[in-house]
Amino acid sequence: MSLERTNYGLSNEHLFYNVSLVVYCEGKESDGATHDEMFWGRVFSAFGVKCVCKSKGSKTNIVPLARRAVEGDVKNIAFAMDRDYGDYHGFPILDTRVVYTYGYSWENDVLLSLNAVAVFSMFAAVANGDSVDQDLRAFTVAASESASRVTHMDISNALTTIALFDRGKPVSIFVGGGQDLRFDAEGIARTFVKISAEHEMANVNEEQHDWLRVFYGKACTRLIYQWFVDRSLAYSSRSKIPYDAFLRSCISGMVIDPETNIRDKYYRGAVSIFAS
């Protein structure tokens, strides 16, 4: 019998794994570790929490379980979920057992402290003095105008039932390449106008958005990944790195320092309460 079927089972599941906490997170259930499990394992362990992370599918699978645990005051368990646009439209559940990502999703969070040189070294050999960090910073600044516009439209549209773009294929909303790679703000704006003509949009007062933190995470990581791919084209030593390998590199190379990083200060406040 699955231990999660009863509150008693949930509260004692940690004993089965010989840890102090079981963390249910998003991600497709699989025989191996998911990216979500990798990320949350890094975060919780960074603050002294001995835990096991278990992917349980989408947020719609986790929220009912979390609500039951909160109502039953179940101990030794936590639930880790994407923030999505909760800051603008509300969260499904608020409790100390529930930890939301700092940004839209964990994909955003790994980008916020990305070691560009280390990641790029997967794509091509990096010489001393290579300007990867500088070029990536310049790229994100240059892309911010279009990205902020797209972010604003996506937040405003989030409560409608009509997709602003194909979230399963975020590459479809890219234009340009290299340092000129951008989100197709004009194309998305045309779709936004059509939707808003028939559906009421949420009033979002904020105009300028920290898009790397706030916008749909898979689109952000795909954009940054494509930038690395494009930049590596000029190197004879380049390697073809799959997107999933890029994500794993971002997670494993993530430096967690709550003294200097506001993201990690947030996580320290949310996670340290579980430390034994």
Find where tokens 């992370």 sit: 53
pLDDT for 178: 93
User: Confidence class of residue 1 from pLDDT cuts 50, 70 and 90?
Assistant: very low
- pLDDT of 58-107, one tens digit each? 999 999 999 999 999 999 999 999 999 999 999 999 999 999 999 999 99
Rounded to whole angstroms, the Cα distance separating 210 from 116 reads: 19
Indicate the DSSP class of residue 156.
Answer: H
Mean of pLDDT values over 135-143: 95
Mean of pLDDT values over 255-273: 96
Of 225 and 205, the structure prediction assigns the larger pLDDT to 225
Measure CA 37 to chain center: 12
Q: Which of 28-37, 66-75, 106-115 has the lowest mean pLDDT?
A: 28-37
Rounded to whole angstroms, the Cα distance separating 93 from 89 reads: 12
Tokens in use for 16? Answer: 């089965």
Identify the three-state secondary structure at position 157: helix
pLDDT for 78: 97
pLDDT for 7: 85
Rounded to whole angstroms, the Cα distance separating 195 from 182 reads: 22
- pLDDT of 113-133, one tens digit each? 899 999 999 999 988 767 999
Mean of pLDDT values over 36-63: 96
CB 238 within 8 A of CB 232: yes
Question: What does pTM read for this prediction?
Answer: 0.94
Average pLDDT, the chain: 93
DSSP 39-55: HHHHHHHHTT--EEEEE
Mean of pLDDT values over 138-153: 96
What is the domain partition of the chain in residue ranges?
3-109+263-274, 115-253
pLDDT for 129: 64
pLDDT for 237: 87
pLDDT for 31: 64
Mean of pLDDT values over 221-236: 96
